[in-house]
Amino acid sequence: METKVMGKTVSYIDQGEGPIVLLLHGWGAQAETYRLIIDHLSTRYRVIAPDLLGFGGSEEPDEAWNVDQYVDFVLAFAKQMAIQECVVMGHSNGGRILIKLLSRKDLPLTIKKAVLIDSAGLKAHHSFSWYVRVYTYKTIKRIMRSKPMKACFPKAVEKAQERFGSEDYRNASPLMREVMVKMLNEDLEEYLPKISASTLLIWGDKDTATPLSDGQKMEALIPDAGLVVLEGTGHFSFAEKWGQCRAVLDSFI
């Protein structure tokens, strides 16, 4: 399905009947990636899952958005879909957006409960080798800004991106790379104590993208939160141990 939000074409899934679950996907994914969750919950709930701008079948924003602009988009989408009350669920970057949304005062809709799965939002603690890669790329990019260097080595920055950038960064368009940098550089720790909704945290103990320590910190800082750890799973913990995740979601929602 498609609709227009903020003047942009937005692709979305709207499946099932009953109380609404609003589902936000992670970075580099799209709503269809979460078919396990959508098909299961839609037997009892109406699951609405948009492709965020810049992902899946939705258009890119006109500029490099930050987290707050994506929150504004989600609220505009919810208004377009006439959502007045819902459970919200977000994986990875979708969780990052929900943290900022849930911390806002005077929301135009009622959030009954929240589910954050391997959520992003806390500033990453990287290894020494990661910093070497990042600053090597930044140095090359800075050197290659001059016209003579651009003329002599026109593809140097592109090659550096391929060599030193993350897979998500390499796969993104130039605009979405700027979006990614903006979002990653924002630490949302201060917003966690402002979340009033009852929150379920689901995490993989082998997650290397958003480590379990992030989930533990979120559990400690969100006033009404509980953490469920899916042992032996990574960043897509819900898919790796779907049976266990399904039971937890059914119990909480």
- For residue 182, being part of any structural domain is answered with no
Residue 80 pLDDT: 98
Report the distance separating Cα 21 and Cα 24, nearest Å: 10
CB 33 within 8 A of CB 25: yes
CA-CA distances (angstroms) from residue 233 to 198, 205, 230, 239?
Answer: 24, 6, 6, 9
- Could you tell me if 118 and 240 lie in one domain? yes
The region, left, alpha or beta by phi > 0 then psi within -120 to 50, assigned to residue 24 is: beta
- Could you tell me if 108 and 139 lie in one domain? no
pTM summary value = 0.86
pLDDT in tens, 72-107: 999 999 999 999 999 999 999 999 999 999 999 999
- Could you tell me if 209 and 107 lie in one domain? yes
Q: How confident is the model at residue 150 (pLDDT cuts 50, 70, 90)?
A: low
Report the distance separating Cα 27 and Cα 158, nearest Å: 22
- Could you tell me if 10 and 135 lie in one domain? no
Q: How confident is the model at residue 203 (pLDDT cuts 50, 70, 90)?
A: very high
Domains of the chain: total: 2
- For residue 201, being part of any structural domain is answered with yes
Residue 128 pLDDT: 46
- For residue 150, being part of any structural domain is answered with yes
Whether pLDDT at 132 is above 80: no
- Could you tell me if 70 and 29 lie in one domain? yes
DSSP secondary structure letters along the chain: -EEEETTEEEEEEEE-SSSEEEEE--TT--GGGGHHHHHHHTTTSEEEEE--TTSTTSPPPSS---HHHHHHHHHHHHHHTT--EEEEEEETHHHHHHHHHHT-SS-SSEEEEEEEES---SPP---HHHHHHHHHHHHHHHHTTSHHHHHH-TTHHHHHHHHHS-HHHHHS-HHHHHHHHHHHT---GGGGGG--SEEEEEEETT-SSS-HHHHHHHHHHSTTEEEEEETT--TTHHHHTHHHHHHHHHHH-
- For residue 101, being part of any structural domain is answered with yes
Residue 146 pLDDT: 65
Question: Which tops the pLDDT comparison, 22 or 163?
Answer: 22
Q: Among 177, 195, 213, identify where a domain stops.
A: 177
Mean pLDDT of 115-127: 86
- Could you tell me if 202 and 246 lie in one domain? yes
- Could you tell me if 148 and 240 lie in one domain? no
Residue 124 pLDDT: 80
- Could you tell me if 96 and 135 lie in one domain? no
Whether pLDDT at 13 is above 60: yes
- Could you tell me if 77 and 135 lie in one domain? no
- For residue 59, being part of any structural domain is answered with yes
- For residue 43, being part of any structural domain is answered with yes
Residue 159 pLDDT: 60
Residue 170 pLDDT: 87
- Could you tell me if 56 and 140 lie in one domain? no
What is the rounded average pLDDT for all residues in the chain?
A: 90
- For residue 30, being part of any structural domain is answered with yes
Look up the CATH number of the domain holding residue 22. Answer: 3.40.50.1820
- Please tell me which of 120-124, 168-172, 202-206 the model is most confident about, judged by mean pLDDT: 202-206
- Could you tell me if 58 and 12 lie in one domain? yes
Range of the domain at 144: 128-177
Residue 173 pLDDT: 96
Residue 15 pLDDT: 98
Residue 164 pLDDT: 45
- Could you tell me if 96 and 29 lie in one domain? yes
- Please tell me which of 14-18, 122-126, 127-131 the model is most confident about, judged by mean pLDDT: 14-18
Whether pLDDT at 130 is above 80: no
- For residue 77, being part of any structural domain is answered with yes
